[in-house]
């Protein structure tokens, strides 16, 4: 019994699907002409690029260069004073060294002279004593030998030579030079007693966006670029904020770097009145090259690390320009926009939909021709409109088996709404959309698609009426 019931229900469903009429959509890609939201009399534009922090950056750079030159001049002055003292003290040292040598040589000569004189004196004394000894009688000599146990014969005095004295001369050291420096230079002498350069915090280069960086990819369609006429597109960018998260992995050190900034775009008309403005947040991040812990400080302060940050900022800025360009063209451009839509026909067993098939072909050909043959496209659209309008005369929302039932009828209304919108008949499009949205016989999918076309229609009508 249960199996029979299931078979009966399936039979009913198959019968409904097989015999009820429904719509069938055919997708097509095409381009439609979109007017700007803001229209201008003179279709020209030019740029005004402003990097708000550039002046402050350049002022800081100039001040840093001035300070650097001052420090270099100061260091040169200290060096000159130090070297002058060093030269004077070394010259005095060499002179004193020469004098000490001369004194030593003079003393050597004197020692020799004193020695020779003393030798002569000792010889004279000896000869005199020997003479006196020889002049004494034999009895006197024997008595002296008995009483004093010596023969009394004279002995020549030993003569020794004294050592010459060489004065010690100490060579001046860096400490000696430093102590001679004027007190005003004392703070510029290092612990090694050598002149030291005053420390200047390194100047960190910043990324200063160029006009090319900020405008490459900006193309206002339908307007001519000029040097100073028409719309003025003012673009500004704020200074990048750099955040670093330094971490260690497997014995190596890395940094996760995040760059954030903001880019602003303001459009002014020829009299200088603001017409439109927009801004976009810029955010990007990257992980730096890894380095050993010992070498990290050197790498972190290297030009390669700084260049990686600047390259990331430049890339992040350029990635935002296309979004600004889209926004700019949406508001001021005369643009052929790519779009994909569905055009519907009807299908059903034993029913003829050749008219709707012909209208489908006319509409699709018209969509393809809009950009290359406006008049031809309009002719094809009017043929399709005529067929669809006539078909709606058969609309019967209560009879599901009718050739133009609620499903097919809603699709035809949607076809008409789209084409009316594209040819600029916004009242006609509004009427067709309302016909779907106000009829309870049309289902949710039809209502949703009608709402989508209404948004498109409202946008096109707003642009046409501005």
3-state secondary structure string across the chain: CHHHHHHHHHHHHHHHHHHCCEEEEEEEEEEEEECCCCCCCCCEEEEEEEECCHHHHHHHHHHHHHHHHHHHHHHHHHHHHHHHHHHHHHHHHHHHHHHHHHHHHHHHHHHHHHHHHHHHHHHHHHHHHHHHHHHCCHHHHHHHHHHHCCCCCCCCCCCCCCCCCCCCCCCCCHHHHHHHCCHHHHHHECCCCCECCCCCCCCCCCCCCCHHHHHCCCCCCCCEECCCCCEEEEEEECCCEEEEEEEEECCEEEEEEEEEEEEEEEEECCCCCEEEEEEEEEEEEEECCCEECCCHHHHHCCHHHHHHHHHHHHHHHHHHHHHHHHHHHHHHCCEEEEEEEEEEEEECCCCCCHHHHHHHHHHHHHHHHCCCCHHHHHHHHHHHHHHHHHHHCCCCCCCCCCCCCHHHHHHHHHHHHHHHHHHCCHHHHHHHHHHHHCCCCCCHHHHHHHHHHHHHHHHHHHHHHC
Residue 150: pLDDT band by 50, 70, 90 thresholds?
A: low
Residue pair 452/425 in contact (Cβ under 8 Å)? The answer is: no
Average pLDDT, the chain: 89
Residue pair 359/383 in contact (Cβ under 8 Å)? The answer is: yes
pLDDT at res. 273: 93
pLDDT at res. 285: 96
> Measured between alpha carbons, how far is 135 from 132 in angstroms, rounded to an integer?
5
pLDDT at res. 53: 85
Q: How far is CA 139 from CA 10, 149, 152, 303, 404, in A?
A: 179, 14, 13, 112, 185
pLDDT at 201 over 90: no
pLDDT at res. 131: 85
pLDDT 10s digits, 219-269: 999 999 999 899 999 999 999 999 999 999 988 999 999 999 999 999 999
Q: How far is CA 56 from CA 52, 206, 234, 260, 314, in A?
A: 8, 11, 20, 19, 20
φ/ψ of residue 455, rounded to 5: -60, -45
Residue 426: pLDDT band by 50, 70, 90 thresholds?
A: very high
Q: How far is CA 84 from CA 87, 180, 188, 198, 389, in A?
A: 5, 11, 16, 20, 107
> Measured between alpha carbons, how far is 169 from 283 in angstroms, rounded to an integer?
71
Q: Residue 248, exposed/middle/buried by CB under 10 A (0-12, 13-18, 19+)?
A: exposed
Residue 149: pLDDT band by 50, 70, 90 thresholds?
A: low
More confident residue, 357 or 5: 357
Q: Is the pTM of this model over 0.75?
A: no
- Scan for tokens 């002014």, then name that residue: 268
Partners of 44 in beta bridges: 224
Residue pair 378/394 in contact (Cβ under 8 Å)? The answer is: no
Residue 143: pLDDT band by 50, 70, 90 thresholds?
A: low
Residue 49: pLDDT band by 50, 70, 90 thresholds?
A: confident
> Measured between alpha carbons, how far is 388 from 367 in angstroms, rounded to an integer?
16
CA dihedral 205, 209, 213, 218 (to 10 degrees): 160
195 alpha carbon, distance to own chain's centre: 38
φ/ψ of residue 51, rounded to 5: -110, 100
Residue 8: pLDDT band by 50, 70, 90 thresholds?
A: very low
pLDDT at 444 over 70: yes
> Measured between alpha carbons, how far is 362 from 464 in angstroms, rounded to an integer?
25
Instruction: Report the pLDDT averaged over residues 192-215.
Output: 88
Residues 6+ apart with CB under 8 A from 366: 376, 377, 378, 379, 380, 381, 384, 419
Count of C-beta atoms within a 10 Å radius of residue 429: 25
pLDDT at 175 over 60: yes
Instruction: Report the pLDDT averaged over residues 427-442.
Output: 94
> Measured between alpha carbons, how far is 98 from 7 in angstroms, rounded to an integer?
131
Residues 6+ apart with CB under 8 A from 12: none
pLDDT 10s digits, 64-108: 999 999 999 999 999 999 999 999 999 999 999 999 999 899 989
> Measured between alpha carbons, how far is 216 from 296 in angstroms, rounded to an integer?
36
Q: For the chain, give the number of residues.
A: 466
In the chain, the percentage of residues whose pLDDT exceeds 90 is 67
Burial state string for 111-139 with b = 16 or more CB within 10 A and e = fewer than 16: eeeeeeeeeeeeeeeeeebeeeeeeeeee
Instruction: Report the pLDDT averaged over residues 316-323.
Output: 94
Residue pair 394/383 in contact (Cβ under 8 Å)? The answer is: no
pLDDT 10s digits, 13-42: 444 444 468 899 999 999 999 999 998 888
More confident residue, 8 or 160: 160
């Amino acid at each position: 019994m249960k199996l029979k019931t299931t078979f009966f229900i399936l039979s009913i469903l198959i019968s409904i699907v097989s015999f009820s009429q429904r719509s069938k959509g055919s997708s097509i890609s095409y381009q439609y002409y979109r007017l700007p939201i803001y229209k201008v009399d003179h279709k020209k534009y030019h740029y005004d690029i402003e990097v708000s922090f550039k002046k402050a950056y350049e002022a800081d750079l100039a001040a840093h260069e001035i300070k650097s030159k001052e420090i270099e001049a100061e260091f040169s002055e200290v060096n000159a004073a130090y070297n002058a003292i060093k030269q004077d003290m070394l010259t005095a040292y060499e002179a004193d060294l020469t004098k000490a040598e001369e004194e030593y040589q003079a003393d050597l000569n004197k020692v020799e002279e004193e020695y020779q004189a003393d030798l002569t004196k000792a010889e004279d004394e000896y000869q005199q004593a020997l003479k006196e000894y020889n002049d004494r009688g034999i009895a006197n000599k024997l008595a002296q030998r008995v009483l004093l146990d010596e023969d009394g014969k004279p002995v020549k005095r030993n003569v020794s030579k004294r050592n010459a004295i060489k004065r010690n001369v100490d060579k001046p050291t860096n400490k000696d030079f430093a102590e001679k420096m004027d007190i005003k230079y004392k703070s510029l002498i290092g612990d090694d007693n050598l002149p030291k350069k005053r420390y200047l915090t390194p100047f960190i280069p910043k990324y200063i966006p160029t006009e090319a960086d900020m405008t490459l990819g900006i193309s206002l369609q339908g307007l001519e670029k000029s040097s100073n006429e028409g719309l003025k597109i003012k673009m500004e960018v704020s200074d990048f904020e750099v955040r670093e998260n330094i971490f260690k992995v497997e014995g190596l050190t890395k940094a996760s770097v995040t760059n954030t900034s903001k880019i602003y775009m303001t459009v002014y008309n020829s009299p200088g009145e603001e017409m439109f403005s927009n801004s976009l947040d810029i955010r990007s991040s990257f992980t730096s090259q890894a380095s050993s812990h010992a070498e990290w400080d050197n790498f972190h302060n290297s030009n390669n690390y700084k260049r990686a940050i600047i390259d990331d900022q430049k890339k992040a800025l350029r990635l935002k320009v296309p979004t600004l360009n889209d926004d700019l063209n949406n508001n001021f451009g005369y643009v052929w926009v790519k779009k994909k839509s569905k055009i519907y026909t009807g299908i059903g067993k034993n029913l003829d939909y050749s008219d709707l098939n012909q209208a489908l072909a006319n509409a699709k050909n018209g969509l393809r021709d809009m950009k290359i043959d406006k008049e031809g496209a309009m002719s094809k659209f009017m043929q399709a409109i005529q067929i669809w309008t006539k078909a709606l005369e058969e609309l019967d929302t209560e009879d599901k088996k009718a050739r133009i039932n609620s499903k097919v009828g809603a699709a035809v209304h949607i076809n008409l709404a789209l084409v009316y919108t594209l040819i600029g008949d916004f009242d006609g499009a509004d009427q067709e959309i309302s016909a779907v949205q106000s009829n309870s016989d049309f289902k949710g999918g039809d209502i949703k698609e009608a709402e989508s076309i209404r948004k498109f229609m409202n946008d096109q009508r707003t642009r046409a009426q501005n």
